[in-house]
A and B are shown apart, each in its own frame.
Chain A
Amino acid sequence: MLVLLITYFFMGGGYSEGSLLTIAEVDSIIERIETVVSDPNRANMAKQSMTELKEEIDTFNKKFENSGSEVKQLYISHEAVAAQMHAQFDKLNHEWHASQQKAIDLRFKLKETITVAEWDSLFSAK
């Protein structure tokens, strides 16, 4: 847990800095959905999309954090070769892409449930 390190950096900060929304931002949106979206059914659907996004962020962050130790060992090792680092990054890149794709899917799922005005209200506050 102490080292997210290089992998974190090359993935654009994982979800903390390089993606659509951070967990804190998702939490903030979930909190405001009921106020902004007056229709309870749509509000529930919107909340569901955001909760799924939060779970996706959590899942990816855990994969990322778990990779830290392996990357650390590779970096410290004097014998490690470039191919090993490339392989490790490629693996994470693959995970990152899959996760980004899911995040985008959920963004568009959310969009289906709320109006332009509601969207602006939810995202302009950030």
Chain B
Amino acid sequence: MNKTILTKCVTLLALISLIYGCGLTSVDDVASLRDSEKELIHNTVTDKDRAERLLKLIEQQNLLEDELSKLIHRHQARMKTLNADYSAERENFVQAIKDFDNERMQKQNQFIKLVEAMRTETTAEEWQVIAKYQLKNLSPHDVALQQNKG
């Protein structure tokens, strides 16, 4: 099996797992895909200064995704604990959702700012290549699953 076919298979499995909520790739796969992303940036963004700045932004994006994945799983655990408790009040659920909202909205805003900064450092053609790679191989949701299962 050549590398392209293998990559497509891994991506397909990741997508299936994404849709059905059971991650099949591992933390190692995420790390490997992130390494490939760095390589892609070096090959795509020919201006070295811009490439370096973009890589720093990507590092921040990865960190943000990791933080978000922890946040999601903390919220998930809290909701499950609450639900299992027969005596839990409606206010407990409302508060849990409110807390989760506050944190994720902050992260969401940071994420959008980062994307804007990345666009600024790239041409339209460069961004197309990088964004498509990210969407195809590094879906934040998929990464979140792996970070917490690995």
Q: Mark A69-98, 1 if CB is under 8 A from B, else 0.
A: 000100110111110011001000100010
Instruction: Give the residues from 73 to 126 in chain A that come closer than 8 angstroms, CB to CB, to chain B.
Output: 75-76, 78-82, 85-86, 89, 93, 97, 100, 104, 107-108, 111, 116, 119-120, 123-124, 126
**Main secondary structure on A side of the interface with B:** helix
Tell me, in angstroms, the Cα distance from A116 to B94 when the chains sit together. 22
Known: A75-B115, A104-B90, A104-B93. A9 touches B68 (CB 8 A): yes
Question: Total A-B pairs in contact (CB under 8 Å)?
Answer: 111
Q: Which residues of B contact A44 (CB under 8 A)?
A: none
Most chain A beta carbons < 10 A, residue from B75, B108, B144: B108
Tell me, in angstroms, the Cα distance from A124 to B84 when the chains sit together. 7
How many B residues have CB within 8 A of the partner chain?
A: 45
**Main secondary structure on B side of the interface with A:** helix
Determine whether B119 belongs to the interface, using a CB cutoff of 8 Å to chain A: yes
Known: A9-B141, A21-B83. A4 touches B97 (CB 8 A): no
Pairs A–B under 8 Å by Cβ, sample size 22: A4-B139, A5-B139, A5-B141, A6-B140, A9-B65, A10-B111, A12-B76, A16-B21, A17-B72, A20-B80, A22-B21, A75-B115, A76-B127, A76-B128, A78-B122, A78-B123, A78-B128, A82-B116, A85-B115, A107-B93, A116-B86, A123-B84
